[in-house]
Amino acid sequence: MPQSSAKMPKLVRFVLKNALIGVVFGWVVAALLLYFDMGGMGTRIAHSRDPIPPLVMLAMGFGVTFGFGYLATAVWFLPWDQESFDKLFKE
């Protein structure tokens, strides 16, 4: 099998990379929200009987929202002309 066919397509890599960056950014924002105890949320979760479900819900919500937002912004700013597009996605 040639090495080039084993690679993921350029746009798939683009989508995965930008979505992952957005998810990580969302998790950082959620962690800062808990760390600085905005609205007492960090205290409520820390003193709850079972803190795992709210943490998972918070991480999922922020991850999906920021992941999609970052990806949508990256797609929005993709170049339109072929030359610039090829420069962006060169191997």
DSSP letters spanning 1-70: --HHHHSPPHHHHHHHHHHHHHHHHHHHHHHHHHHTTGGGHHHHHHTSS--HHHHHHHHHHHHHHHHHHH
What pLDDT sits at residue 32? 98
What pLDDT sits at residue 2? 52
Would you say residue 90 has pLDDT above 80? no
What pLDDT sits at residue 86? 79
What pLDDT sits at residue 1? 46
Would you say residue 6 has pLDDT above 70? no
Domain ranges for the chain: 17-82
Can you tell me the mean pLDDT for 69-86?
88
pLDDT for 21-76, tens place per residue?
A: 999 999 999 999 999 999 999 999 999 999 999 999 999 999 999 999 999 999 99
pLDDT band at 4 (very low <50, low <70, confident <90, very high): low
Cα(32)–Cα(52) distance, rounded to whole angstroms?
17
